[in-house]
Amino acid sequence: MSDADDVSVKSISCIEVLPIRKRLLVGGIGGVNVYDGLSEAARNPMLADLEPTVAILYNEHFGTFVSAAGRTVKVWDANTGELQEVYRKVTDDLITAICLDDSQKKIVVGDAGGSLRVLNALNGALMKESDVPHAGCVSSVWYSAELHAVLSSSWDKSLRLYDDTETDADSVFLSREARQHDDEVSCSTVSESLCLMASGAVDGSVALWDYDANTSEAALRGHSAEITAVLFLDPLPLLVSADTDGNMCVWLVRPIVRGDTAGRCVLRVQNKVPGSTKTKPLLALAYVHELGIIYSGDASGTMQAWSIKTALWRLGIAEYVKPEPVGEEPDGKEKQPWKLRMVSYEKYRQINRVMMQRVSRFSTSQEALLKPGDVKILKSWQAHTDSIRCVHLIRSKLSNCGSSGLISCSYDRTIRLWDLRARPIGVLHQGGAGAQPWAFSIDLAKRRHIARNKALGILEHNRRRGSDVLLPRLQS
């Protein structure tokens, strides 16, 4: 309140609070002033945030959803859909990307200034910060469980790996950097099983980077517009990329291909406007391997479910299983992970000899491996009223709607949940539970049982490890 009001500050003689209507009455010389006690969030209770949500993730460890908008991170109760925690001003610039670590106890955020920060998922406290920030906006962040590292891409044209192994340090340390593109990197994705990072740029280029060996794997040329999303179809050695022209391309990656065959697109489909030859930009991708379905979100707020079952059957590609880190060199040292991968690649190629021969013919004779009819749209629905920003796959053994679901966010500032048949199962509202029923819930008893068994496993592992260390000392 200021002196510009009808009632001056010095003349106030009484104040009355109306809690139900959220109003404040102030009386004095000059009359009575009425003040609105509602915040901006309270005036827009049906929105998830006042600013568009950048990304939304499911945290199975805590049974929550984590969203980011502006400089704020919000935590939502997955069992009720209610807002649980709000972590404000966690970055100096607008948040542009988020991810969870392998334990899901830390949130990694990237911002428009190029900085990376690691937050405590339980209370939002700052744990670490990047020692060398990017020179441009961070476009994506990912976490490698095997290397305990943060992977990032940026508008400064770089891909980076930051070491997160030092638990007591206050920084994640820049360890490796690659420059695969001549233009700004707009998106990226990671395959832990293949140790590959795929990135897309504004100029339409797609590149593969082996972040473990720090080597360039391949440059994939097939787009002429800005790449908006890339996605590995794990556990299959396939990559999908999408652009602003509405094209979606499917690529073969290692170990099924090597050499010059790694840069070939085996299938291209377009996201067309129904009844027209015009296309709509595809902006987000998610994949459910069990169903053979790619889910996408476009610039009109529409989501699509693309069935690629026929395409996978025609390709006949087997799943790639990541090798276990076992085995020793002749000198008794543990085998390096990349050597184990090379051996597993050769075994995989032997199993898929027929497919390898077809790929070889395709690379020399331009034989088509897939046809447009091999991919069909099962469902298309209006999910949002504005461009979709993110589509995230919910994988939970504890949900009552099956093993998976989808959650999407948009520039319309809403966050919506869907089952895998595109049926709405909930909306996140900053003003509390909305009129729409919340159909996503977690079996809390089962969750406690899983957590207890996990804790017992850790205790047993430590007990055995202690015995293995103590016994030789006693014998000596």
| Higher pLDDT among residues 34 and 189, named by residue | 189
Strand order from edge to edge, sheet including 55-59: 55-59, 64-69, 72-77, 83-87
Q: Is the pLDDT of residue 117 over 90?
A: yes
Task: Return the pLDDT at 158.
Answer: 95
Same domain, 32 and 104: no
Reported as a pLDDT band with limits 50, 70 and 90, residue 436 is: low
Read off the pLDDT of residues 128-140 as tens digits, 9 standing for 90 and up: 999 999 999 999 9
Please compute the mean of the pLDDT values over residues 400-414 and round it to a whole number: 81
Same domain, 466 and 405: no
Distance of alpha carbon 62 from alpha carbon 451, whole angstroms? 11
Distance of alpha carbon 372 from alpha carbon 267, whole angstroms? 7
Same domain, 222 and 132: yes
Q: Does a structural domain hold residue 405?
A: yes
Task: Return the pLDDT at 3.
Answer: 40
Q: Is the pLDDT of residue 335 over 60?
A: no
| Higher pLDDT among residues 289 and 400, named by residue | 289
Q: Is the pLDDT of residue 337 over 90?
A: no
Task: Return the pLDDT at 432.
Answer: 67
Q: How far apart are the first and last CA of the chain?
A: 79
* Those residues with Cβ within 8 angstroms of residue 249's Cβ, 6 or more apart along the chain or in another chain: 220, 222, 223, 240, 241, 242, 265, 267, 268
Read off the pLDDT of residues 277-330 as tens digits, 9 standing for 90 and up: 889 999 999 999 989 999 999 999 999 999 999 988 888 888 888 777 655 555
Please compute the mean of the pLDDT values over residues 421-425 and round it to a whole number: 92
Same domain, 146 and 26: no
Same domain, 310 and 397: yes
Please compute the mean of the pLDDT values over residues 197-203 and round it to a whole number: 96
Reported as a pLDDT band with limits 50, 70 and 90, residue 191 is: very high
Task: Return the pLDDT at 108.
Answer: 97
Q: Does a structural domain hold residue 3?
A: no
Q: Is the pLDDT of residue 351 over 90?
A: no
DSSP class per residue in 53-68: --EEEEETTTTEEEEE
Q: Does a structural domain hold residue 42?
A: no
Distance of alpha carbon 238 from alpha carbon 199, whole angstroms? 14
Q: Is the pLDDT of residue 402 over 50?
A: no
CA distances from 359 to 164, 239, 395 (A): 39, 16, 33
Please compute the mean of the pLDDT values over residues 191-201 and round it to a whole number: 94
Q: Does a structural domain hold residue 1?
A: no
Most confident of 76-85, 94-103, 402-411: 94-103
Read off the pLDDT of residues 410-419 as tens digits, 9 standing for 90 and up: 999 999 999 9
Reported as a pLDDT band with limits 50, 70 and 90, residue 354 is: confident
Q: Does a structural domain hold residue 43?
A: no
Task: Return the pLDDT at 196.
Answer: 93
CATH number at residue 179: 2.130.10.10
Same domain, 83 and 219: yes
Pairing of strands 415-418, 185-191: unpaired
Q: Does a structural domain hold residue 407?
A: yes
| Higher pLDDT among residues 439 and 40, named by residue | 439
Q: Report how many domains make up the chain.
A: 3
Please compute the mean of the pLDDT values over residues 369-395 and round it to a whole number: 90
Q: Does a structural domain hold residue 334?
A: yes
Task: Return the pLDDT at 40.
Answer: 60
Task: Return the pLDDT at 470.
Answer: 46
Read off the pLDDT of residues 24-61 as tens digits, 9 standing for 90 and up: 788 887 777 776 655 566 567 788 888 999 999 999 88
Distance of alpha carbon 131 from alpha carbon 328, whole angstroms? 35
Q: Does a structural domain hold residue 242?
A: yes
Same domain, 464 and 417: no
Q: Is the pLDDT of residue 2 over 50?
A: no
Distance of alpha carbon 81 from alpha carbon 145, whole angstroms? 29
Same domain, 313 and 346: yes
Task: Return the pLDDT at 4.
Answer: 42
Task: Return the pLDDT at 120.
Answer: 95
| Higher pLDDT among residues 274 and 443, named by residue | 274
Mean pLDDT, rounded, of the chain: 84
Identify the domain containing residue 173 by its residue range.
Answer: 48-443
Q: Is the pLDDT of residue 467 over 60?
A: no
Same domain, 333 and 361: yes
If DSSP codes are grouped into helix, strand and coil, which group holds residue 337? helix
Same domain, 19 and 115: no
Same domain, 105 and 16: no
If DSSP codes are grouped into helix, strand and coil, which group holds residue 408? strand
Query: Of 174-188, 225-239, 243-257, where does mean pLDDT reach its minimum?
Result: 243-257
Measured CA angle at 50 (ends 48, 55), to 5 deg: 55
Please compute the mean of the pLDDT values over residues 420-429 and round it to a whole number: 92
Task: Return the pLDDT at 87.
Answer: 95
Please compute the mean of the pLDDT values over residues 192-221 and round it to a whole number: 92
Burial class from Cβ neighbours inside 10 Å (0-12, 13-18, 19+) for residue 140 reads: buried
Same domain, 252 and 356: yes
Please compute the mean of the pLDDT values over residues 440-465 and round it to a whole number: 74
Please report the beta strands in 78-191, taking only residues with DSSP state E, as ranges in sequence order: 83-87, 95-100, 106-111, 116-120, 126-130, 138-144, 149-154, 159-163, 171-178, 185-191
